[in-house]
Structure 1
Amino acid sequence: MKRSVTLALTAGEPAGIGPELCLQLGLEERQPGIVVVACKHLLQARAGLLGLAVELEDWKPGNRAATAPGRLSVMHIDGLTSTDAGKLDPGNSAYVLETLRIAAQGCLDGVFDGMVTAPVHKGVINDAGIAFSGHTEFLQELCGVERVVMMLATDELRVALVTTHLPLKDVSAAITPERLTQVIRILDVDLRKYFGIEQPVILVAGLNPHAGEGGYLGREELDIIEPTLEKLRREGMTLTGPLPADTLFTPHWLDNADAVLAMYHDQGLPVLKFQGFGRAVNITLGLPIVRTSVDHGTALDLAGSGKADAGSLHTAVRVGEQMAQSATRDRNE
């Protein structure tokens, strides 16, 4: 019998589609329990704009989260300066980060079993004078961990990244034995912990075209990647590579693999998003908490139109629930 879990859901950028995705979820019967960490007035305004009949229930720790259709539990957060759909307001930035902080702290304190995040707008937060590079880095700092790993997943494919939001010119210097070792260890451990994979099989992409072609197209594979993989293989990990990125995303390799490790953002994610955009989930590995997110941005042009698709949010909630339950089993064994 599955243990019931409660997930915190942050509504993201107030001007984007996040608030209405949360409301769409509230229209449906659902498990696990969801608590939206957001300004209640924002959700009321968006529900009124779209004509959505969702009853918003004030939630406090110790309460049960609503799961019935037409009801949605909300942990109200103050500090919002505007609720206009499609219109960015830097004044909302501190509020957005506060929702993330409260949800994450609730997970650390055991109030929530995990957190799911709707999209934020990095640009407007930085316009407010707050240095912010993304959810992943924010949660890494808040949780006090040295390294985290971004992994996107569909039902058919998982792609993790060695580097995330770096200019392409800086990627090579960032591929160090230390970083590669940390990332692969986190990936191996969390595939076991959260996905129940006893012996993960991980495909590792090379950095250069044709994985360097024996050094003629770059030496990172020879000097850094392969020696690091060999060291980790001796620890018992099942690692294949470095493989040319233009051929590893084929059935020949993927059919027997549990995850792909790409060296940089646009090496692996275009393939995954082509394969499953709108039903993929963004997962942060290496944290002491469960965190999943949607695979898309704030979609300001769709905000308030009623046309936003909640498919990725459904996936993020479902995977967040599975990870929380798996982590509990792991602790109890």
Structure 2
Amino acid sequence: MSIERKNTSEKPVIGITMGDINGIGPEVIIKALSDNRMLRFMTPVIYGSSRVLTYYRKAMAMEEQNHHQVKAPGQVHDKKINIFNCWEDTPDIQPGIENETGGKYALLALQKAADDLKNGYLDAVVTAPISKNNIQSEEFKFPGHTEFFTQLFQAKDSLMFLVSDTLRVGVVTGHIPLKEVAGQLSKEKIVKKIKLMEQSLKKDFGINKPRIAVLGLNPHAGENGLLGDEENLIIKPAIDECKNKGMIVTGPFPADGFFGKGSFKTYDGVLAMYHDQGLIPFKTMAFENGINFTAGLEGVRTSPDHGTAFSIAGKNQADESSIREAIYLACEIVRNRGMLPEQ
């Protein structure tokens, strides 16, 4: 599906969902937007509640930050922080507590922002953290944001792509139990993920001839079949097929040595076989400024690479660097895709 842009702004209009109101989402949003220079290159629209923002602004003694309330799509003010109230009632805010209230309001904000993105009123959406547990309902039966947005845009597939200044990591399998990973792998699936990564590196990051590294599944990449045969039977044939189509793809590499020796520095993207194989080294190196990007969709969606952090919610301790970088990346991708009007 294609999106018809409904706004005429020369700056990217970025929707920012509030996430779980009892987590650190509201706090990091307020902190990230406290620098007025952010408004020079983007127009933010926060999806959530002005009452929730007021609560956290008071708690952090940042009451000078003002918001322009938006009552309908297309009413955003280019030079202000906009807020779309996704509910009228006053929720019981309990920082640090994971409960049904947090999941309920996180879903309301996500649904409205997603609709506006799909309908062309937003150029991108940045999602603050949700609890994958308390948001589950009849309306949300997904392991996380990635799967939600993939279905929203009716895409056959997507790529969870973790991005920082020094490393880009995608995963073949995402939010599934580790014991199911090997059974979920196939040559066709790996080829699809490599293609999605290459297309994203070209379209979203402006890299003409991306170099992609593919990790093995087993220790030492199977040690020639001694420690597992998935490399020989599935992963290598997928790499060979992509090479035959002109892609610059190398592997499979043993994951430990690949990251330990710094080999990732010579590649534009790294494809891991499962969630923790890619995300543990990524978060070790880029926890404070890492970004989660859903590649392969018509819509642009990014998020910080951290969770709700209930343990520090409401204590004014959360670092806003990751969500700020997620906003920056969303704007960069919008521009790289040529979505803005020519000036």
Normalising by structure 1, report the TM-score.
0.92
User: Residues 179-258 of structure 1 correspond to what in structure 2 (within 5 A)?
Assistant: 179-250=189-260, 253-258=263-268
Residues 95 and 310 in structure 2, CA contact (< 8 A), matched pair in contact too: yes
Question: 2:334·2:340 contact (CA, 8 Å) conserved in 1?
Answer: no
Q: Deviations over 1:179-233 (max 9, x none)?
A: 1121111111111000001111000000011111111111101111111111111
CA distance in 2, matches of 1:228, 1:94: 42
2:4 maps to none
Among residues 45, 49, 62, which one is paired with 2:74 in the alignment? 62
Q: Is the 8 A contact 1:211 1:221 kept in 2?
A: yes
Look up the match of 1:42: 52
Look up the match of 2:6: none
In 2, distance between residues paired with 1:252 and 1:37? 40
Question: Post-superposition shift, 1:94?
Answer: 3.4
Distance 1:192 1:3 in 2: 23
Distance 2:133 2:141 in 1: 10
Q: Which amino acid aligns with 1:137?
A: E
Of 81, 84, 93 in structure 2, the residue corresponding to residue 83 of structure 1 is 93
Query: Which 5+ residue runs of structure 1 have no aligned equivalent?
Result: none
Answering whether residue 308 of structure 2 is matched by residue 298 of structure 1, we say yes
RMSD between aligned alpha carbons?
Answer: 2.2
CA deviation map 1:23-74 (0-9, x unaligned)? 112321113111101122111222122221221210243234454xxx5210
Structure 1 counterpart of 2:25: 18
Query: Counterparts of 1:134-149 in structure 2 under 5 Å?
Result: 134-149=144-159
Does the 8 Å contact 1:117/1:293 carry over to 2? yes
What does the per-residue CA deviation read over 1:100-142, in whole Å, with 9 as the maximum and x for residues that have no partner?
1221221222111101011001122238995331111111122
Does the aligned pair in 2 maintain the 1:90–1:128 contact within 8 Å?
no
Identity %: 34
Cα–Cα, structure 1 residues 276 and 92, in superposed 2: closer, same or farther, change >3 Å? closer
1:214 alignment partner, SS class? coil
* SS of 1:9 mapped into structure 2: strand
Instruction: Name the CA distance, whole Å, in 2 between partners of 1:129 and 1:26.
Output: 30
Task: String of CA shifts for 1:298-317, please: whole Å, max 9, x gaps.
Answer: 11122111111101011101
Greater Cα shift, 242-251 or 212-221: 242-251
How many correspondences in the alignment?
A: 328
- Residues 104-113 or 182-191, more deviating: 104-113
Shift in alpha-carbon separation, 1:211–1:40, aligned structure 2, 3 A? same
The one-letter amino acid of 1:73's match is N
Secondary structure at the counterpart of residue 313 of structure 1 = helix
Aligned runs of 1:61-210 on 2, under 5 Å?
61-65=73-77, 67=79, 72-78=81-87, 81-126=91-136, 131-210=141-220
Return the alpha-carbon distance in structure 2 between the equivalents of residues 82 and 225 of structure 1: 50
Shift of the 233–294 alpha-carbon distance from structure 1 to 2, 3 Å rule, reads same
- Give the TM-score taking structure 2 as reference length: 0.90
Distance 1:3 1:198, change over 3 A: farther
Give 1:248 deviation, angstroms. Answer: 1.5
For residues 278-318 of structure 1, the C-alpha deviation after alignment (integer angstroms, 9 at most, x for no partner) is 11111111111111100111111221111111010111011
CA contact (8 A) 1:85 1:300 kept: yes
Distance, in Å, in 2 between the alignment partners of 1:214 and 1:110 is 50
Give the counterpart letter for 1:76 in structure 2: N
